[in-house]
Amino acid sequence: MAGTSVTKKTELQMRGGLFQSWTFVLDAASIAAAAQGIETLTLPGARAGDQVWVNARAPEANLIAAGAKVTDNDVVSVYLDNNITVTTALDAASTTFDLFIIKFAGGDVAA
């Protein structure tokens, strides 16, 4: 399931780039034991080369937000790991995430 309730919280223009913070809600699909799931969200203005970090606010046990990256214009992929090492799939509840993105000058950012 794609991320919903995507909301920009902060935007800070700084020398050499732009910093943005966002929140979104994700009800991820079931993730097999010791596997990784990939979910996407629409993030207006996201471009290849932007640096992205993601963090779950209150992660469910055994769910790890392993990272995120821009995979297409306006699209960010979020990588979630099921940290259970036995044969148990994880179907996490809807979770709120924080996402931070830095857009370096030279891309879509005025220097």
Question: Distances in Å between the alpha carbon of 47 and those of 14, 39, 77, 103?
Answer: 18, 17, 12, 8
Per-residue model confidence (pLDDT) at position 2: 60
Average pLDDT, the chain: 87
CB neighbours of 107 closer than 8 A, spacing ≥ 6? 47, 49, 50
Per-residue model confidence (pLDDT) at position 87: 81
Per-residue model confidence (pLDDT) at position 37: 92
Q: Which residues of the chain have pLDDT under 50?
A: 109-111
Per-residue model confidence (pLDDT) at position 110: 46
Per-residue model confidence (pLDDT) at position 88: 86
Per-residue model confidence (pLDDT) at position 3: 61
Per-residue model confidence (pLDDT) at position 111: 42
Tell me the C-alpha distance between 109 and 56, whole Å. Answer: 27
Q: Tell me the pTM.
A: 0.84
Q: Which amino acid, residue 54?
A: V
